[in-house]
Chain A
């Protein structure tokens, strides 16, 4: 029997840029080119919490400070994205205010971000595979998740506003395969890949969202178009498209 799991496929249009800091608390001089899974969880967490009237952003657990997005990460078995268009990293200059030895000063710094802006239509499609068991234990329903998906307002920080153009729901078929063709990002571990793409080290969201300083990281392959992947694969078919899941 083929295992089935609910999915949300969310197609988004950026308003021009996507600001994704590679490391929180860094000096903001590095950025990610592609949207990492942690950002996708954070992006849906805000509208989902909005539905239940939960305005909390930060959880203080003794000396640990965490994002409330951590509380919903178990609702998902896997999250990934497909990017149409080639993001370009660009560092705009900003004037900032800072304190130096107790004195306020102004300084100039750069704030890099990925530019998703060009003559073609750049789109980002996120897929969330839902953990039905976890969903049934909590306060949210599949309809809430669907509404939350329509309510994603931004990916990353600051000016990274997006509009959700389409949300598709259904059941994904999970199976095993020796090869697959995919346009979605997948963990680059022991697979042979044929095609163009970018490798990016990202926080493994399954180990927790909150304290990134010691978080486990995974290397993801973000295809430029469609790539062929070979190996011992676990795949999911989502609305006619294939995802390669973590081994």
Chain B
């Protein structure tokens, strides 16, 4: 049974929000706890899937933003 606090550490660990000391301690825990390590691996795989899911805006929109910025610079 994994404690809730450990689960919270896991979420912060996969999102790289643990301080260096906490991170090292958590990695020691991971090395000793196979269930937690497995869960961590699953979440990292899912995180990767979410990362590849980014949508791309149209070139037209991006060009409009860049043109707006250039025009504003010319006015200043």
The finding on whether chains A and B are genuine partners in a shared complex, rather than unrelated, reads no
Residues of B within 8 A of A (CB): none
Residues of A within 8 A of B (CB): none
